[in-house]
């Protein structure tokens, strides 16, 4: 990890990345989602979760349903 300014956003981002890696919580496949799955699944469900209308389990279940819908087309 490169040296960064203490208290910077970069420092916080690097620390968050290390925590995700330690907890095995990264979801690399979001970046590889098709446009339709990203637009109809990830984006609205993440917005619901950030807005307190959805929890992590519900988000993943909804995205999985959308993924299956997209694949069946």
What pLDDT was estimated at residue 50?
A: 93
Burial class (CB in 10 A: 0-12, 13-18, 19+), 41: buried
Tell whether pTM > 0.75.
Answer: no
Residue-wise pLDDT tens digits, 31-60: 666 788 888 998 999 999 999 999 999 999
Average confidence score pLDDT of the chain: 87
Provide the pLDDT for residue 30: 63
Return the H-helix or E-strand segment holding 2: none
């Amino acid at each position: 990890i490169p040296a960064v300014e203490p208290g910077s956003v970069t420092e916080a981002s690097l620390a968050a990345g290390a925590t995700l890696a330690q907890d095995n919580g990264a979801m690399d496949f979001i970046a590889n989602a098709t446009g339709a799955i990203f637009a109809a699944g990830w984006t609205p469900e993440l917005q619901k979760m950030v807005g307190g209308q959805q929890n992590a389990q519900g988000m993943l279940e909804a995205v999985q349903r959308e993924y299956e819908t997209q694949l069946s087309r």
